[in-house]
Amino acid sequence: MPHPFDSPLDRQADDSPQNPARRSLLAAGLAGAAGVMASPALSQVATRPGAPAISRNLPDVAIVGAGAFGGWTALALREAGARVTLIDAYGAGNPRASSGDESRLIRLSYGSREIYTRWARKAAELWDARQSEFGRRLYYPNGSLRVIREAELAPQKAIFDRLGIPYEAIGPDEVRKRWPQLNYDDSPHIFYETTGGIVKARESMIAVAETFMQKGGKVIVGHAVPGPSASGRMAHLLVNGEPLSAGLSLFACGPWLPKVFPALLGDRIRVPRREIFYVGSPMNDHRYRWEHLPNLSDLDTYTASDIDYGVKVAARLADMPMDPDGGDRMPTDFLRQQVRDYVARRMPGLKDQPIVATRVCQTEYSDNSHFIVDRHPDMANVWIAGAGSGHAFKMGPVLGNYLRDRMLGRQTDPAEDALFALAAHKAAVAGG
């Protein structure tokens, strides 16, 4: 029996008929087509200690993309008893993926979009539970300080009051008293939410994929494209040119979705470039660490406090399109200076500290910043999920459960389903 942490690439790279990964890929294709039990290799996987038994009542599932949408969905479906294959062109947590940065934030205040406040609160609970299960620290609950316009304060408070989520509305004097390392003299209204915090991004996606494998899921490092369709269904996917059959497929390809479905999504999702800078904490000065400092959310940028990687500061630039495969990932001097100016103003004690790491990512925006989760209009057994619109990472554990239920035909909230429907997203979004 293969070790649960064996490299899926090593097994996949051996293309000989003796290679179990190759045998199971072909067998999965044949088994799916004939609707019969799959290969010995796949059956073996299901007998691993702790792996949920494979339910004969559930379809085999292929998921393309091991990011926040695909990785968590693969895990949830495997835990529900489905036989699941997770395919990623560059591997879980890879640096091209939108989920491949060091960290992401869990923030609950979403203006008037209450659904995401509810989801983010649930997500924070699930992150806490999952990190215990995974046996590694992934969630740092330090809350956040958000600069808020006066007109938005009352509606935001109303949502938090209705949902019973703790918060404080404070001003710059109170900030100075509690966090003297900050300067908020330019911001009269600050919304302090104590729930939420920071999650490790890349490491979480690796942990999800590893747990998925430990529970009997199969991971393939390879490039997948939709295969031919007949009678309103996709006959099979093509993984590195080879057919892979599955009763259900999910394309959770993040910023690659417009490339995978150009006609359907080419003008529904835009992919702009983003730059992130990590500013080092001074040695023996712990005031900028997550234990002592909430994350900061300003009108034009945001930070994540230091979780042993420096203080993360996001830079903003007018949208420039990014190719997730070939795009250059070196930061610009212009944005580096913008970050330096922001740090000098907001956290003067970090003014002369070095930038210790950078990351160039991309986001995948829909026209209205709502996610897209829907069936493919021409292939009933194909699902599409993505358009994280700069805020989906935190939702991963909730998204996984939601997509599991949608794909298995279980009851979900019709209002949420409608919000995420393809029909609710206008084509021809501006920019990238």
Ligand X SMILES: Cc1cc2nc3c(=O)[nH]c(=O)nc-3n(C[C@H](O)[C@H](O)[C@H](O)COP(=O)(O)OP(=O)(O)OC[C@H]3O[C@@H](n4cnc5c(N)ncnc54)[C@H](O)[C@@H]3O)c2cc1C
CA distance 302 to 318: 16
Name the nearest CA neighbour of 332 among 270, 273, 272, 255: 273
Give the residue with the Cβ less far from ligand X, 60 or 101. 101
Smallest distance from the beta carbon of 137 to ligand X, in angstroms? 18
User: Binding pattern to ligand X, positions 369-408, x when CB under 6 A?
Assistant: -----------------x-x-xxxxx--------------
Nearest one of 40, 34, 86 to 210, comparing CA atoms: 86
| 266: contact with ligand X by CB under 6 A | no
| One character per residue 36-75, x = contact with ligand X (rule: CB under 6 A) | ----------------------------xxxxxxx-----
- CB nearer ligand X, residue 346 or residue 394: 394
94 near ligand X, judged by CB under 6 A: yes
Q: How far apart are CA 311 and CA 288, in angstroms?
A: 7
SS3 (DSSP) at 92: coil
Minimum CB separation from ligand X for residue 223, in Å? 5
Question: Among the candidate windows 49-57, 188-196, 229-237, 251-259, which touches ligand X by CB under 6 A?
Answer: 251-259
Among 127, 160, 192, 256, binds ligand X (CB under 6 A): 256
Q: Output the smallest distance, CB 190 to ligand X, in A.
A: 19
Shortest spacing between CB 34 and ligand X, in angstroms = 25
CB of 67 to ligand X, least distance (A): 2
- Answer yes or no: are the C-beta atoms of 293 and 305 closer than 8 Å: yes
Rounded distance, CA 282 to CA 200, Å? 22
| Rounded Cα distance, 164 and 126, in Å | 18
How far apart CA 313 and CA 30 sit, in angstroms, is 50
What's the count of helices (H) and strands (E) in the chain, helices before strands? 13, 22
For ligand X, give the closer residue by CB, 54 or 367: 367
CA gyration radius, the chain: 22
Compare residues 54 and 144 and give the one whose CB is closer to ligand X: 144
Site for ligand X in 282-321 (CB under 6 A): 314
Closer by beta carbon to ligand X, 54 or else 76 = 76
Spatial distance between the Cα atoms of 313 and 297, rounded to a whole number of angstroms: 10
Letters for 329-368 (x = contact with ligand X by CB under 6 A, - = none) are --------------------------------xxx-----
In whole angstroms, the minimum distance from the beta carbon of 349 to ligand X comes to 24
Q: How far is the CB of 127 from ligand X (least distance, A)?
A: 11
CA pair distance 431, 203, nearest whole angstrom: 31
Among residues 30, 90, 242, 424, which is the contact residue for ligand X, using CB under 6 A?
90
Using CA atoms, how far residue 334 sits from 4, 187, 331, in Å, is 45, 25, 9
User: Kind of pairing, strands 144-147 and 190-193?
Assistant: antiparallel
**Choice between 54 and 294, CB closer to ligand X:** 294
Kindly determine how many residues on this chain lie close enough to bind ligand X according to the rule CB under 6 A. 39
Applying CB under 6 A, which part among 6-14, 142-150, 186-194, 252-260 lies near ligand X?
Answer: 252-260
Query: DSSP letters of 242-307?
Result: EEE--SEEEE--GGGHHHHSHHHHTTT-B-BEEEEEEEPPPTT--TTBTTT--EEE-SS-BEE-BS
29 contributes a contact to ligand X by CB under 6 A: no
Q: CA angle, corner 98, sides to 95 and 99, nearest 5?
A: 80
User: What does the buried/exposed string (b/e) look like for 330-348 if buried means 16 or more CB atoms within 10 Å of the residue's CB?
Assistant: ebeeebeebbbebbeebbe
Residue (54 or 96) nearer to ligand X, CB:
96
- CA–CA dist 248, 406 (Å, integer): 11
Q: Is 253 in the site for ligand X (CB under 6 A)?
A: yes
At its nearest, how many Å lie between ligand X and the CB of residue 315? Answer: 9
Minimum CB distance to ligand X smaller for 54 or for 419: 419
In the region spanning residues 170 to 229, those forming contacts with ligand X, defined by CB under 6 A, are 223-225
Burial (Cβ within 10 Å: 0-12, 13-18, ≥19) of residue 357: middle
Q: Which residue, 54 or 227, is less far from ligand X as judged by CB?
A: 227
Site for ligand X, residues 95 to 154, rule: CB under 6 A: 97-99, 104-105
Minimum Å gap between C-beta 36 and ligand X is 27
Q: Which residues bind ligand X (CB under 6 A)?
A: 64-70, 87-90, 94, 97-99, 104-105, 223-225, 252-256, 260, 274, 276, 314, 361-363, 386, 388, 390-394
